[in-house]
Amino acid sequence: MPRYMTLIRIDEQASADWEPDPGFEQRMGALFEEITKAGVMLETAGLTPTAQGTRLTWNEGKLGHTDGPFTETKEVIGGYAILQCKDRAEALEWTRRFLQTHPAGWSVGAEVRQIDEQPQLPK
């Protein structure tokens, strides 16, 4: 079965003010229990704030780096999940359900991409 990576996107500055509603943890826990029992969830984690990150770049033969926070970036990857699903539609359905567990006032996005099981080496 194919694997999919779901990248969870958040506005890091706005998320500092988010307060979970009383049922958030229960909804998220129930979904994680269901997705794990279904054998779909292979791995998931949140990421530390960009203030603790470093971006590395390779450009015109030169290596560069920038330490966080990355204030010029409004939307950042706040977490990820690796799902093993029968097809893209199933991966999208689980991701849709994940997003819907969040409080209505939050702004959370997700990008779902199939993992290429054939690693490509540079030519």
Distance CA 82, CA 9 (A): 15
Backbone angles phi, psi at 88, to 5 degrees: -60, -40
Looking at residue 67, its amino acid is: D
Q: How confident is the model at residue 97 (pLDDT cuts 50, 70, 90)?
A: very high
**Segment 36-66, tens digit of pLDDT:** 999 999 999 999 999 999 999 999 999 999 9
Q: Can you list the domains of the chain with their CATH numbers?
A: 3-114 (3.30.70.1060)
Q: What is the pLDDT of residue 30?
A: 97
Q: What is the DSSP letter of 85?
A: -
pLDDT at 29 over 80: yes
Q: Give the pair of three-digit tokens for residue 36.
A: 């794990």
Helix, strand, coil tally for the chain in percent (to 5): 30, 35, 35
Using DSSP's 3-state secondary structure scheme, residue 97 falls into: helix
Q: How confident is the model at residue 74 (pLDDT cuts 50, 70, 90)?
A: confident
Instruction: Name the one residue in this structure whose structure tokens are 């990355």.
Output: 70
